[in-house]
Structure 1
Amino acid sequence: MIRKATLLAVVSAALLVPVGVATPGTAAAKTSTAQASRQGLVLTVSSITPDWAKGAADVIKVSGTLRNDTGSDLSGLVVRLRYSSQPLPDRAALETFQADQTDQTLPGQASPTSQVAIAAVAAGASAPWEFTLTPAQLAHPALPRFGVYPIAIEVQQAGWRRLAVQRTFVTYAPPQPKTVRNKLAVALPMIDQPHRVIDQPRRPDDATFADDKLSAALTGKGRLADLLRIAKAAPPSVTWFVDPALLDDLTAMSKPYTVAGKDGTVKKPADAAAAQWLADLRTALADSPVVATPYADPDVAALAHHGFDTQVGRAIELGGQKAAQLLRPEVSTSINWPASGLLDADALDLLAVGKPGVAQVRKVLLTSANLPQQDQQVTQTTQTGQTTQQTAFTPGTTTPDATATLYSVAGPVTALVADPVLSRLFEPGGGAGSTLLSRQRFIAETAMIAAEPGQTTPRSIVVAPSRRWDPNPTLVNALLKTANGLPWLSLTPLDSVKPPKSAAVRAARTQRAGLTYTDQDRKEELGRKYLTPVKEIARKAELTSLITTDKPPSAFDAAVLRLTSSAWRNQTRAGRAAAELVKDAVDARMDMITITGADPDRPRTLAGSDGVVPVSVKNSLPVEVTVDVEVTSNNPKLLRIGPQPSRRLVIGGNGQSGTLQVPMTAGSGVSGDSAVTVQLRTSDGQPYGKPVKLIIRTTGYTGIALVIVGAALTVMLAAVVTRVLRRRSQRRLERAAKSRESEAT
């Protein structure tokens, strides 16, 4: 049986009736400390010991302070306990008591003994208060039974005028009869938005960040600093969901990096805080179960609905690789926590298929809005891109087991459904006292679950706060410490949560209505307008790998996956800016393979009616490429392309070129310029880059014409030679005649 009873008092209490209002019995909703300070009296409960009671005579001490912010002196105040002698029947009643801040739900009985009088409190001053109670005081007759008892601490003036009130619970859990000890799995996210835009392993100087926000988050009260504080103190059974893209970004920051700005890029020195944060995280999570999200936390539902069939599998694979490289070798990728904890059948299929033979998802962590209880009403609200649920339990129902079985094209997938109320308690409520309030509500909720009728074996409960939460370390650590000490709970890793083996037990415990994905959920996804250019970038990025001989994974895989991150759901403008930078980088890389001599004023010559024309391709990449060169005539009547034994070129990197000899035949009597189009293709036939137009100039000189011209030149040469010989002979005769004349003389 549950063994203790709990009294919670909230650290910040709301002022329900301003001092100037004399209407008795008025109650209003809770407000933050700041609001209460402007309105009047602030009731603070600073200590409750013990957290819960296991004996009817256990003395529970409650203490706190009153702060007078009314601007006037107050006198004749009484702080007293209001209670109900009957425990709450179920979680629905507990929710109603906490949510409905009206007199109708306020406990009807006032304790004559658990109260303290405060004679006067000056304006701006504070006064302490303290009283005790026992579980026996709450029951009539004084034999309390196990349960969660609603109580309220109120401040009255003049015996009737209520100035402030705070609600909470006392949990009474005697040792006998014993209750079932349920399994509690806590999943905590360490997910951020992408900050880096470009990262090319072969160009370490090209790691460019879109902003420098991570630097501020690492220290002081920054979000990542708070997450690390929680990780250091959390029990080793807590499961962490870590986005490897975050680790990747911080690793890049631990070296000199570049930040893009409006006026160009800014060089940043290595951030020592990033390196220290990573080292501390490795130590903190050394013994804890860790799940790697798909790289950059892509919007899986949106990708499924817009034809990104391969990116999800690649994201799972890359996420596992990066986590093993940057965090530790043993990191799971078989559990997926989709954006907002919501997916439909299409997204489930993509996750289950994953990358065949490499990485698949076998469990999904969902909200109860996505897989609701059959008799549970869920109202969704979306703020800053995060979907939350306001859950209305049906009176008399029991909490279903956290597991359910879904069916995908790749087989069954286990769904792990987070409890909406318990998960919400792990998120900051705002205002002083939220830690105490959340802790005591947590004790009451889990005790109520343990005491629900019909249990013979332990059930599974899953807690999962919002994926991009900004946590309060004090609150989270207090709840984890409390959960670890409750006798009706057993903390367990998330991966150990499995459906009951018996089909009958599964049917009785799950009570789920099936996957529910609304039109509003679909509207929250990344839309077609955003994803269409991203899809084109992804296509081109893949070509930069396919064109190489070895065909390694694209150097742009990580950059493209960051563009598909669910973080861009509520900030598509920033996502588009990042997409432009990635597009420019992809285009620049594709332009490193070019057809040389494609200048329109540099035509290539085809001598005669047929022959070969060289087409050269230059590779400025640092790796070898395999290129198919496709040449087509723009007008086959004027110029035909002849058959080729091979169109493939294998070209070394770093500026080397390859040349393909292309046979061409000009049409009969054709002379002048004709055009051909050259398209580079990958070895699997995909076009690489834009087609290039080349001008081919045909001379019209056939082979016979060349023979005739040659013969004519020979005849002309013979005539010239004959004439020269004749002149030489004539000059010789003239010299001989002159010689005879001289002798005669």
Structure 2
Amino acid sequence: MTPPRRRRHAAARIATLLAILTMLLVPAALPQAFAEPPDDDSGADAFVVITLDSVDPNVVTTASSPTVTVTGTVSNVGDRTVRDVIARLEHAPAVGTAEALRTSLTGGTAQFAAVGEFVTLAEKLDRGQEVPFRFSYPLRSDSEPALNVTEPGVYPLLVNVNGTPDYGAPARLDYARFLLPVLGVPSETADADAPTVSALDLEGVVPPDTRKPVAMTMLWPLADRPRLAPGVPGGTSPVRLMDDELATSLAPGGRLDTLLGAAEFATSGPVDPGGEVGRALCLAVDPDLLVTVNAMTGGYVVADAADGLGAASHPGTGQAAAVGWLERLRALAARMCVVATPYAQADLDALQRVNDRGLNHFDTVVAADLVDQLLGVQSMRGATLVGDGPLTRRVVDLLGAQGNTVAIAAADATAGDPADLAVRRVSERVVAAPFDPAVGAALAAAGQAPVAPNYLDDSLAVPQRDGAQVARRQDALGAMLWRSLDPQTEPRRQILMPPLKWNLGPDDAQAILTTLATTIRSGLATAAPLPAVIAEAAATPPPVDEDAISSIGAQTRFADDVVNTIAGQVGRLWGLTAALTTNEQTGLTGVQYTAPLREDMLRALSQAEPPAVRNQLAAQRLAVVGGTIDDLFGAVTIVNPGGSYTLATERSPLPLALRNDLAVPIRVRLLVDAPPGMTVTDIGEQELPPGFLPIHIPVEVHFSQRVAVDVALRTADGLPLGEPVRLSVHSNAYGKVLFFITLAAAAVLITLTARRLWHRFRGQPDPADLDRPESSRSEPAEQNLHDERTP
């Protein structure tokens, strides 16, 4: 029998071992209690996901209901059942800095406090199921749970969901954060649905401070990613697109239709009788989009290949939609401000690395002329929308080379270093008019396809989550209003710059433009037309502030291979273009013929493409463009006869045939590599029309033999065209020495013949016959004598 002491020691050892095993295994099997759920939308370790359906009111005003209602759903997206699903609404103090517009939406949640108690949403939520929730709390109250909103501002709110997954412990499973902008605090007894406002409703109202309104300008972008198929020269019909997504986007309910329709409605007479919104707004139009839509109006085809690069195609479906959308845009542009973006939203920093003056000028100057031509308006000059990229030293150098301009670009800012929005001169010709990157990023996140702008510092990035469209809309509205609601912030001006390729739904577009109008009409902001902003900024005196110039992140930088490829291609293309002339029959010029290929190079640098695939897509586009440029150079050739030429005389011309498969004439020069003894006359520059052109090259040959003659074509500036041809030439010429010998022999022969004839006519023997033998001279006499003796 085991002694009691030993049994107690054995039991203690077993208990210790079990405790150690429990400590090692339980944390691996159970989620951490109330741990922060993942901020990204990857779905890693996610059990449930919150989707906000509505926030009412989305912007609180003094005339709003004093109660805020938040609705949504909680969905089980995990691999197991979740039990005891509970949720509550939490709130945080008003945002105090522009950076907090971003940082309050990510990171820890210690600043949030509960508004009310947890409420049970479901005792059991199986896989794939969802359950709705609804929270409704007053802005302020002394007797019941409330949001504690007592003054205007932008307030972060949070929906917190807890539950117990099977095989786990109770934990926070997901949360959704968003901003609630409060323009004014309504009365606690106000009724937003009442037809009239009573004196009682005005008691306790807290209006906003309107003593220092913000001068507000908003750019409303109309742009898209490049759609025209690469490598198609001008004059080609029908136009080919890489895909037919524009047909959907331009049609009713599409992205571009929504953006245009929202601007039309917000600036119409009944909605904007005073024209304040119309003065604050300016359409930012991408010339590449206009070129594409205008081409669609004449009929087009769509590439069959998934990557849009194949030659096979089928008819497009968006011709009617393109016609209608373009007519509406022309009508809207005729009554409001229009400014051109860089062509195809090209990355100006990468473009300066290409270092081609012609391409730079086209992207920033000629692009505005295209907008004027296609819309029939005079678009704004003097401003450059840097767009989604930062204002780097290269961008400043590129813009300065084109003339005086105001660069509208994001200011530098991090979570610990606020943005300085003061207008400043960054070079002798360039003035920076910055916008807040935190506000720009919030606008970029709004809509159905959120994006993170290239200029945004990582410390201000907010992970984008599925099902958060309503939350992102709230964040955008809060970011728009924050500067207006804080009278202490300087300067009292604000440029709202969304991403150029903005994907808003109808509700998002309406909410944003309604908020812009509300801000102006409430006195918190005044409309600042873009022409006035440009004029004021252009008057900024020296000195130059180098600190306002930004850097660019490696993750958004175009690869050196892409830049070098463009630099090589555009140099060859300019050289070819210089040799092209106008086709008198069609009116197509050389510049128009090669313009789409230069535009393709700008499309390759488009910031509308996601950073992760930009270099890959650019390389694919440039490969097609490079092949087309090679084909253009190879389309002008010398027709190889395939046999040999025979020159009848020493001065017989050398006949050739030239072929031009281009759509426009080209000026060429012939280079003839002749062997010694052959002299070739330079026929100079020749204009070769489309088709065939026979020519004759004057030559002089001083030998009689078969030789090889190499002939090549060059542009007027010396660029090689086609392939050189080797001709086999046989000459019958005798040369100068043989000519004189022949001439002398002929003279001697003529002289001797004349002398013989002379003596013959005179009946005298030819002296040349005196040296003959006697028998030969007497034979005729003897013969005559013999004849006489014969009877």
Q: TM-score, normalised by structure 1?
A: 0.70
Structure 1 partner of 2:393: 345
SS of equivalent to 2:248:
coil
Structure 1 counterpart of 2:322, one-letter code: W
Structure 2 partner of 1:28: 37
Q: Structure 1's 590 and 245: CA in aligned 2 closer, same or farther, altered over 3 A? A: same
- CA–CA distance in 2 between the matches of 1:456 and 1:587? 56
Structure 2 partner of 1:557: 595
| Stretches of structure 1 lacking an aligned partner (at least 5 in a row) | 1-17, 355-359, 378-391, 726-740
Cα offset, 1:562, TM superposition:
0.3
Cα offset, 1:505, TM superposition:
11
Please point out which of 106, 125, 134 is paired with 1:129.
Answer: 134
Please point out which of 344, 361, 364 is paired with 1:313.
Answer: 361
Q: Say whether the 8 Å CA contact 1:403–1:499 is kept in structure 2.
A: no
Please point out which of 625, 644, 659 is paired with 1:601.
Answer: 644
Structure 1 counterpart of 2:68, one-letter code: K
Structure 1 partner of 2:312: 266
Structure 2 partner of 1:48: 56
Q: Say whether the 8 Å CA contact 1:483–1:491 is kept in structure 2.
A: no
- CA–CA distance in 2 between the matches of 1:322 and 1:87? 46
| Stretches of structure 2 lacking an aligned partner (at least 5 in a row) | 1-26, 165-169, 185-205, 268-277, 451-463, 584-588, 762-786
Please point out which of 257, 265, 281 is paired with 2:301.
Answer: 257
Cα offset, 1:423, TM superposition:
3.0
Which has a greater percent of strand?
Answer: 1
SS of equivalent to 1:363:
strand
Structure 2 counterpart of 1:707, one-letter code: L
Q: Deviations over 1:587-629 (max 9, x none)?
A: 554455444567573365662xxx5744646354665554444
- CA–CA distance in 2 between the matches of 1:333 and 1:713? 90
- CA–CA distance in 2 between the matches of 1:415 and 1:483? 20
- CA–CA distance in 1 between the matches of 2:439 and 2:346? 27
Structure 1 partner of 2:406: 363
Please point out which of 190, 207, 224 is paired with 1:175.
Answer: 207
Structure 2 counterpart of 1:242, one-letter code: V
255-264 vs 697-706, which deviates more?
255-264
Cα offset, 1:164, TM superposition:
5.6
- CA–CA distance in 1 between the matches of 2:653 and 2:342? 50
Q: Structure 1's 718 and 474: CA in aligned 2 closer, same or farther, altered over 3 A? A: farther
Structure 1 partner of 2:23: none
Please point out which of 466, 474, 481 is paired with 1:440.
Answer: 474
Cα offset, 1:557, TM superposition:
1.9
- CA–CA distance in 1 between the matches of 2:664 and 2:590? 11
Structure 1 partner of 2:658: 618
Q: Say whether the 8 Å CA contact 2:354–2:566 is kept in structure 1.
A: no
- CA–CA distance in 2 between the matches of 1:95 and 1:536? 42
Q: Deviations over 1:290-330 (max 9, x none)?
A: 43344444444334323423222234455345434444443
- Kindly indicate whether residue 541 of structure 2 is the aligned counterpart of residue 520 of structure 1: no
Q: Deviations over 1:639-681 (max 9, x none)?
A: 4557x6x62445665434343435x474xxx654555554545
Q: Structure 1's 536 and 474: CA in aligned 2 closer, same or farther, altered over 3 A? A: same
When the two structures are aligned, how many residues end up with a matched partner?
653
- CA–CA distance in 1 between the matches of 2:148 and 2:439? 32
Please point out which of 235, 240, 255 is paired with 1:226.
Answer: 255
Q: Say whether the 8 Å CA contact 1:623–1:653 is kept in structure 2.
A: yes
- CA–CA distance in 1 between the matches of 2:231 and 2:312? 15
Structure 1 partner of 2:565: 532
Structure 2 partner of 1:196: 229
Q: Deviations over 1:129-172 (max 9, x none)?
A: 343213455999999344444444445789x9866644444555
Q: CA RMSD in A?
A: 5.2
- CA–CA distance in 2 between the matches of 1:711 and 1:447? 111
Cα offset, 1:97, TM superposition:
2.9
Structure 2 counterpart of 1:230, one-letter code: L
Structure 2 partner of 1:401: 421
Q: Percent identity?
A: 17
Structure 1 counterpart of 2:210, one-letter code: K
Please point out which of 302, 314, 328 is paired with 2:350.
Answer: 302
Q: Structure 1's 598 and 571: CA in aligned 2 closer, same or farther, altered over 3 A? A: farther
Cα offset, 1:472, TM superposition:
4.3
Q: Say whether the 8 Å CA contact 1:367–1:420 is kept in structure 2.
A: no
Structure 2 partner of 1:244: 287
Q: Structure 1's 634 and 300: CA in aligned 2 closer, same or farther, altered over 3 A? A: farther
Q: Say whether the 8 Å CA contact 1:423–1:463 is kept in structure 2.
A: no
Structure 2 counterpart of 1:248, one-letter code: V
Structure 2 partner of 1:426: 444
Q: Say whether the 8 Å CA contact 1:196–1:249 is kept in structure 2.
A: no
Q: Structure 1's 679 and 364: CA in aligned 2 closer, same or farther, altered over 3 A? A: farther
Q: Structure 1's 717 and 191: CA in aligned 2 closer, same or farther, altered over 3 A? A: farther
Cα offset, 1:219, TM superposition:
2.0
Cα offset, 1:225, TM superposition:
2.6
Please point out which of 307, 324, 328 is paired with 1:283.
Answer: 328
Q: Structure 1's 434 and 536: CA in aligned 2 closer, same or farther, altered over 3 A? A: closer
Q: Say whether the 8 Å CA contact 1:184–1:462 is kept in structure 2.
A: yes
Q: Structure 1's 442 and 505: CA in aligned 2 closer, same or farther, altered over 3 A? A: farther
Q: Structure 1's 704 and 473: CA in aligned 2 closer, same or farther, altered over 3 A? A: farther
Structure 1 partner of 2:430: 412
Q: Structure 1's 704 and 462: CA in aligned 2 closer, same or farther, altered over 3 A? A: same
- CA–CA distance in 1 between the matches of 2:531 and 2:698? 61
Please point out which of 516, 528, 533 is paired with 1:497.
Answer: 533
- CA–CA distance in 2 between the matches of 1:676 and 1:514? 63
- Larger of the two Rg values belongs to structure: 2
Q: Say whether the 8 Å CA contact 1:634–1:677 is kept in structure 2.
A: no
- CA–CA distance in 1 between the matches of 2:669 and 2:540? 61
Q: Structure 1's 83 and 497: CA in aligned 2 closer, same or farther, altered over 3 A? A: same
Q: Say whether the 8 Å CA contact 1:336–1:361 is kept in structure 2.
A: no
Cα offset, 1:555, TM superposition:
0.7
Structure 2 partner of 1:382: none
Q: Say whether the 8 Å CA contact 1:49–1:62 is kept in structure 2.
A: yes
- CA–CA distance in 2 between the matches of 1:502 and 1:537? 33
Q: Structure 1's 220 and 93: CA in aligned 2 closer, same or farther, altered over 3 A? A: closer
481-490 vs 670-679, which deviates more?
670-679
Q: Say whether the 8 Å CA contact 2:354–2:563 is kept in structure 1.
A: no
Structure 2 partner of 1:90: 97
Structure 1 partner of 2:106: 99
Structure 2 partner of 1:11: none
Q: Say whether the 8 Å CA contact 1:291–1:333 is kept in structure 2.
A: yes
Structure 1 counterpart of 2:698, one-letter code: Q
- CA–CA distance in 2 between the matches of 1:594 and 1:716? 57
Q: Structure 1's 588 and 685: CA in aligned 2 closer, same or farther, altered over 3 A? A: closer
- CA–CA distance in 2 between the matches of 1:97 and 1:135? 22
Cα offset, 1:99, TM superposition:
1.3
Q: Structure 1's 658 and 233: CA in aligned 2 closer, same or farther, altered over 3 A? A: same
